């Protein structure tokens, strides 16, 4: 069959197909020896570069990092920024036939964060202070980093523990509107502690590690306690060299593969709450010893990104002295939330355009026949418009969440605007 005959049989539809193929080919890098910038939208690199305010670089604005002031020698630096997320959400419970709930919606300020960070009394003494303007206990992070030694830096204060990767990644640098059900169930979140770490172990540009111990009480809960602490060890390997592995989107569209693989183990001694340092306290006033592990990876190439995580938690209860509730009724001691979870997420930035399509699947599953964990599933599809990368973006996602039957779960739509100044 010749081309003329193929076109003649259904000309409008054939021409539409050819136009679509031509537009996709036009979006691909030019033949020859392309560079990373060939895949980025025009002017994006310049827009995201630092902007001098007073001249001489002593005061400048960096998109996403805020206003930066420093002395001539660089011994004192202060960066300050404000980040806000406005989220609109529609949900609908899908029950049995004829038993569906009416759709519900809400508009809220999802997060408003104020951050101060920099260095003081030398370039190797760093600090970060972050508050949540919407919380009754607003302090999120306040820690000091002493990075004089490449292979053995010290962090002390309140901060996100080195747990699963998607929890440590800032909520402002996520690819989807928010994190998954895996993170909600298994994350270690923030705590007050001390750790030892390196971003470039042995100077190989391949390895990172964290070894730490924290109080195990969670954020903003200082109290005198016995030695029921949380111990953390994490190792990361980047076979192709270091890169921005704690930002989920491949804005640079680098034409070489980048990969980071992480493994983490935690032992939580005498945890007082059902999920370690999160969740409700055990109803009998007792504790649990938890073993928690994570495997995760992130891959980036030419605008394509893939992130995956596996989590597992297994614990043993130490039943407490409480045997009755407030009304005098006997209680059954809570079982440990033993379980495992998985998440996989893919994203692709359209060449030369600030648009992305992303999708993910996640599950949470109990271990064995006993335990207080409920099996859950999540599937989502997202579309993002990055006006100025993460600092100014509009994200949307459509998701289905369910336990046993897909068509009897919950449908959810979210749209979120983020502005980081």
Question: For the segment 282-333, what is each residue's pLDDT rounded down to a tens digit?
Answer: 999 999 999 999 999 999 999 999 999 999 999 999 999 999 988 899 999 9
3-class SS of residue 48 = coil
Q: Which of residues 10 and 364 earns the better pLDDT score?
A: 364
**Cβ 211 vs Cβ 196: under 8 Å:** yes
Average pLDDT, integer, range 136-154 = 97
In a domain, 232, yes or no: yes
What whole-number distance in Å separates Cα of residue 28 and Cα of residue 418? 29
Does the structure show a pLDDT above 60 at 19?
Answer: no
Q: Residue 368's pLDDT is what?
A: 80
Does the structure show a pLDDT above 50 at 200?
Answer: yes
Cα–Cα nearest to 142, from 124, 123, 155, 133: 155
Cα–Cα nearest to 306, from 356, 355, 359, 262: 359
Average pLDDT, integer, range 25-47 = 67
Long-range contacts from 86-91, C-beta under 8 angstroms, 24+ separation = 86/110, 86/416, 86/417, 87/177, 87/414, 87/415, 87/416, 87/417, 88/414, 88/415, 88/416, 89/412, 89/413, 89/414, 90/412, 90/413, 90/414, 91/410, 91/411, 91/412, 91/413
What whole-number distance in Å separates Cα of residue 60 and Cα of residue 79? 10
Average pLDDT, integer, range 73-86 = 93
Q: Residue 241's pLDDT is what?
A: 96
Q: Residue 25's pLDDT is what?
A: 46
In a domain, 327, yes or no: yes
Q: Give the list of residues 6+ apart from residue 58 with CB closer than 8 angstroms, or none.
A: 69, 70, 71, 72
In a domain, 303, yes or no: yes
Tell me the pLDDT band of 263, cut-offs 50, 70 and 90.
Answer: very high
Q: Residue 18's pLDDT is what?
A: 47
- Judged by average pLDDT, the poorest of 37-46, 233-242, 389-398, 402-411 is 37-46
**Cβ 194 vs Cβ 235: under 8 Å:** no
Does the structure show a pLDDT above 50 at 4?
Answer: no
Does the structure show a pLDDT above 50 at 1?
Answer: no
Beta strands in 59-162 (DSSP E): 59-62, 66-70, 77-93, 104-119, 125-132, 139-146, 153-160
Q: Residue 46's pLDDT is what?
A: 84
Q: Residue 3's pLDDT is what?
A: 44
* Tokens at 128, concatenated: 């970060």
- Judged by average pLDDT, the poorest of 31-35, 155-159, 336-340, 416-420 is 31-35
- Judged by average pLDDT, the poorest of 89-103, 295-309, 391-405 is 89-103
In a domain, 385, yes or no: yes
In a domain, 66, yes or no: no
**Cβ 145 vs Cβ 224: under 8 Å:** no
Average pLDDT, integer, range 42-46 = 86
* Tokens at 320, concatenated: 């407490």
Q: Residue 97's pLDDT is what?
A: 64
Average pLDDT, integer, range 112-137 = 95
What whole-number distance in Å separates Cα of residue 139 and Cα of residue 375? 33
Tell me the pLDDT band of 411, cut-offs 50, 70 and 90.
Answer: very high
Tell me the pLDDT band of 349, cut-offs 50, 70 and 90.
Answer: very high
For residue 12, report the phi and psi dihedrals to the nearest 5 degrees: -60, -45
Tell me the pLDDT band of 45, cut-offs 50, 70 and 90.
Answer: confident
Q: Residue 404's pLDDT is what?
A: 86
What whole-number distance in Å separates Cα of residue 75 and Cα of residue 343? 42
Q: Residue 421's pLDDT is what?
A: 87
What whole-number distance in Å separates Cα of residue 213 and Cα of residue 230? 6
- Look at strands 376-388 and 392-402 and give their pairing: antiparallel
- Say what the pTM is: 0.85
Does the structure show a pLDDT above 60 at 32?
Answer: no
Does the structure show a pLDDT above 70 at 21?
Answer: no
- Judged by average pLDDT, the poorest of 15-29, 35-49, 299-313, 355-369 is 15-29
Note down the domain range covering 97. Answer: 92-111+133-420
Count: domains in the chain = 1
Q: Give the list of residues 6+ apart from residue 123 with CB closer than 8 angstroms, or none.
A: 74, 75
In a domain, 1, yes or no: no
Q: Which of residues 216 and 35 earns the better pLDDT score?
A: 216
Average pLDDT, integer, range 230-248 = 97
* pLDDT mean across residues, the chain: 90
Return the bridge partners of 298, or none.
260, 307
Q: Residue 176's pLDDT is what?
A: 97
| CATH code, domain with 380 | 2.40.160
In a domain, 118, yes or no: no
In a domain, 306, yes or no: yes
Cα–Cα nearest to 197, from 244, 250, 149: 149
Under the phi-then-psi rule, with left for phi > 0, alpha for psi from -120 to 50, and beta for the rest, what region is 311? beta
Percent of the chain exceeding pLDDT 90 equals 72
Q: Which of residues 148 and 7 earns the better pLDDT score?
A: 148
For residue 247, give Cα distances in angstroms to 83, 123, 172.
16, 24, 9
Nearest-5° Cα angle at 301, 297 to 306: 35
Tell me the pLDDT band of 407, cut-offs 50, 70 and 90.
Answer: confident
Q: Residue 265's pLDDT is what?
A: 98
Give the number of C-alpha atoms closer than 13 A to the C-alpha of residue 205, restricted to the C-beta side: 6
């Amino acid at each position: 069959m010749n081309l003329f005959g193929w076109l003649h049989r259904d000309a409008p539809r054939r021409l539409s197909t050819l136009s679509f193929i031509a537009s996709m080919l036009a979006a691909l890098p030019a033949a020859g020896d392309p560079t990373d910038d060939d895949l980025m939208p025009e002017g994006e690199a310049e827009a995201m570069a630092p902007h001098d305010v007073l001249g001489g670089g002593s005061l400048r604005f960096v998109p996403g990092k805020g206003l930066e002031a420093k002395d001539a020698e660089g011994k004192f630096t202060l960066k300050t920024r404000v980040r806000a997320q406005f989220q609109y959400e529609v949900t609908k419970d899908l029950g049995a036939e004829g038993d569906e709930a009416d759709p519900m919606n809400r508009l809220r300020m999802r997060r408003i964060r104020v951050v101060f960070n920099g260095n003081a009394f030398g370039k190797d003494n760093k600090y970060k202070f972050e508050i949540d303007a919407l919380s009754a206990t607003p302090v999120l992070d306040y820690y000091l980093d002493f990075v004089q030694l490449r292979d053995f830096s010290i962090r002390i204060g309140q901060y996100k523990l080195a747990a699963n990767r998607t929890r440590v990644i800032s909520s402002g640098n996520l690819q989807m509107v928010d994190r998954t059900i895996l993170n909600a169930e298994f994350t270690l979140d923030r705590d007050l502690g001390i750790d030892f770490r390196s971003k470039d172990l042995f100077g190989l540009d391949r390895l990172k590690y964290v070894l730490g111990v924290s109080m195990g009480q969670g954020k903003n809960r200082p109290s005198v306690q016995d030695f029921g602490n949380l111990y953390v060890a994490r190792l990361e390997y980047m076979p192709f060299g270091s890169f921005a592995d704690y930002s989920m989107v491949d804005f640079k569209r680098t034409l070489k593969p980048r990969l980071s693989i992480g493994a983490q183990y935690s032992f939580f001694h005498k945890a007082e709450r059902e999920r370690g340092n999160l969740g409700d306290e055990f109803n009998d006033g007792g504790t649990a010893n938890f073993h928690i592990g994570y495997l995760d990876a992130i891959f980036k190439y030419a605008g394509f990104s893939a992130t995956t995580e596996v989590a597992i938690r297994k614990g043993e209860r130490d039943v407490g002295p409480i045997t009755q509730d407030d009304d005098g009724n006997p209680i059954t001691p809570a079982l440990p939330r033993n379980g495992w979870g998985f998440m996989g997420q893919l994203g692709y930035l359209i060449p030369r355009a600030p648009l992305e399509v992303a999708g993910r699947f996640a599950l949470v599953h109990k271990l064995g026949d006993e335990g207080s964990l409920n099996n859950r599933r999540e599937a989502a599809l997202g579309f993002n418009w990055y006006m100025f990368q993460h600092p100014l973006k509009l994200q949307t996602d459509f998701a289905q969440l369910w336990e046993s039957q897909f068509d009897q779960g919950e449908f959810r739509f979210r749209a979120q605007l983020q502005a980081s100044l």
